[in-house]
Amino acid sequence: MSEEPDDDLSDDFDDDDETSEPAVTIQIAGLSLYTRHGVTEAEREIGQRLLIDVAFEVTGCDATVTDRVEDTVDYADACEQVALAAQERSYRTLERLCAAIAERLSDRYGADSVRVKATKPEPPIPLPVEEVSVEVWREG
């Protein structure tokens, strides 16, 4: 007895997959900024260098089809938005700083999800440590 081949393979795939827009993740790593964040007054007065990493996902990025620069996120603008959020005011915690950056990127680019990591390469703590960092992410 031979089996008939299953010609109806379309049931295995979602019809929306062919017409759905691909998601694009924009990543920026190691953006070095001089900031005034920290728990102590001295950290906020003197300031310190932070390294910022961000990744955010956008749908509807026409550049995947058009190959036009105008149809994608301007990476320089994204860096500028991060710098503005990090330097326009002072926060006590890296958690709040990361959340403020995530909010700005989400609002500016309509990002579906955003991850922000802030690293203090020279943290003011009395133990030998290379760096400390905080990462915040938000969906939708």
Per-residue pLDDT of the chain (140 residues; tens, 9 = 90+): 555 545 544 444 344 445 567 888 999 999 999 999 988 888 889 999 999 999 999 887 887 777 877 877 889 999 999 999 999 999 999 999 999 999 999 999 999 999 999 999 988 889 999 999 999 999 97
114 token code pair: 């955003």
pLDDT of residue 53: 98
Per-residue pLDDT at 61: 80
Q: Do β-strands 48-59 and 113-120 pair in parallel, antiparallel, or remain unpaired? A: antiparallel
Q: Name the residue ranges covered by the structural domains of the chain.
A: 22-139
Phi and psi dihedrals of 125, rounded to 5?
A: -125, 150
Q: Which residues contact 100 (CB under 8 A, 6 or more apart)?
A: 85, 86, 91
The answer to whether the pTM exceeds 0.85 is no
Q: Span 22-139: which CATH code?
A: 3.30.1130.10
Q: Collapsing DSSP states into helix, strand and coil, what is residue 12?
A: helix
Q: Give the pLDDT of residue 121.
A: 95
